[in-house]
Chains A and B, each alone.
Chain A
Amino acid sequence: MFHASKLVLAHFWVAFVAFLGAILLGEWQMFVRSPLAQWVNNPEHYYRSVTAHGTVMAYVLPTLVAMGFGYALTELSLRRPLIGLRWAWGGFWLVVLGTAIAAVTMALGKASVLYTFYPPMIASPFYYIGIVLVVVGSWIWVGLMTVNLRAWRKANPGATVPLAMFGNVAGAYLWAWTSVGAATEVLVLILPASLGLTDTINAGLARVFFSWTLHAIVYFWLMPAYIAFYTLVPRAIGGRLYSDTMGRVAFVLFLVFSMPIGIHHLFADPQVGAGFKFVHAAMTAMVSVPTLLTVFTIVASVEIAGRLRGGKGVFGWIKTLPWGNPMMLAVTFSFVMLGFGGAGGIINMSYQLNETIHNTQWVTGHFHLIFAGAIVLMYFMVAYELWPQLTSCGPLPPGLMKAQIWLWFIGMMVLSMPWHLVGLLGMPRRMAYYDYSHPAIAPQAWTVIASTLGGLLLVISAFILVYILAAAHRRPKTVPAPFSFSAMAHAGGRTPVALNGFGLWVAMMIGLTVVNYGFPIAQLAMLKEASVPVIPIGSR
């Protein structure tokens, strides 16, 4: 690392401290609506907590990790100092300021609208201003990634962009375009209503704009984890990356297909036509392709590690894998959770099957398993990989790391599997309490207790994570070994020009968005009857 160490550390620390607070809120929510506790007296407190938990986990944590990891990747993969360090600090402080403003507003009970921006429920303007600052801070990061890549290209004409940087910039471009939907919703529709300038709001249009962001944001969260799969995992376990090209194809497929699919979140919304719902469902199916490519490539890369260690036969290589290596454990658990979560996701995206689980606990279970499980586990691994570089702390304690990874995996499975089950039985999400004394749902009570216990394991795991990272700062300084990325199995291959740049893919991303969103947005924007009175939350 050149001069971005402090910057990257600041991003990760703010992310993980916020994460620690939010995970405690999550466990409290689980506890108060389990049969272990009395019904929460004031359901508003529950929704306030959901808002804070979701805002931190969905906006603050992944944005800061993507930004911090992005800055680190820029220096580590391009092997030159980050350009625009001051701007990067500016972006960081905007995110911190925005988080603080939103947090105070939420704590005062002026923003208990849950973290999805679905009008006509409207929070205090300070909540939205806080979120906008977080997004603006992240746009500075997008700009810096572009500037750094350009400068590197200028200095290395015709050279192939390192895979890590390629994925990083793909993530940045994805985020830039993704965030336009919610930004438009907040700036054009919500803030005027929240500031009291208008009494009504076009709720249908606002929801369509939010769906623009809502699904693609998931792939922005996922990018750091996928970059780690391709560029860190094979190296960490002593394997080779099976295909660099496949990694690039996966990244550009995410660019193209994660955008024009968000209406699958609005299957139950009457304002969008059935035709568009079907088209979005079909395109959502396509977004499983880059994930399947990734699973194939990474499993192949892992197999190389097993064979290099003397594994023979069809399955013999599995036995020889370095199971004592934290990264091996993490990637295995991550794939298991990605598998279950992905299978659940295919049910969510199917226009018809979705009817059975729409707005049930199944959905909560799905996104916890796939994001908080498969993806966030890789965020931890990224921090563990970077920490020796950032703090010169030497190797981190593998035993504690493995305990943390095990707890996170078991905790997440125990938390989210019961949610899937009761979701199928019809338990709605976002309820502050359930009447377990009623014979109709008494048999489901144990599942909520199970989830509470799973949540407890996650809390313990989170504290171990923070302990490992904090203790590293106090250890004697050593000179870190030079950082390296995965070596390729077939070195020296030529990267096609299309996979060394983004022009074509960004054009396809924007084009497909216009095709899939243009008509619903234009039609709803022109529909006068779509405006409804706003419902300000916590205003009296």
Chain B
Amino acid sequence: MLKFTEDHEWLQIDGDSAVVGITTHATEQLGDIVFVELPDVGAEFAKDDDAAVVESVKAASDVYMPLDGEITEINEAIVEEPAKVNQDPMGAGWFFKIKLKNAADAEGLMDQAAYEAMIA
């Protein structure tokens, strides 16, 4: 199940776990990404907490926790090579994986059609 937030994050949800990244639209707005800072594995965040930082030459912005949960895995590859986020934002450029506190919360997020309508 693919979901989106208003802050331009995507979540690929599978049961009570999810992969999180930033959308293609977000990477286009940011331009070339030069730095990514990821949270520690095991860290717990509430929805909308600052979980990660992404910097391009134009902007620095926070990546928010899309739902309450715990970080289970992070994508070290994008820390080593931030350009990966620009190259494949919805795939190899994922940020972190989370274990959702309440899987049902995902219902409140946008689906792809709603997100595309929002950015149109």
The reply to whether chain A is a binding partner of chain B is no
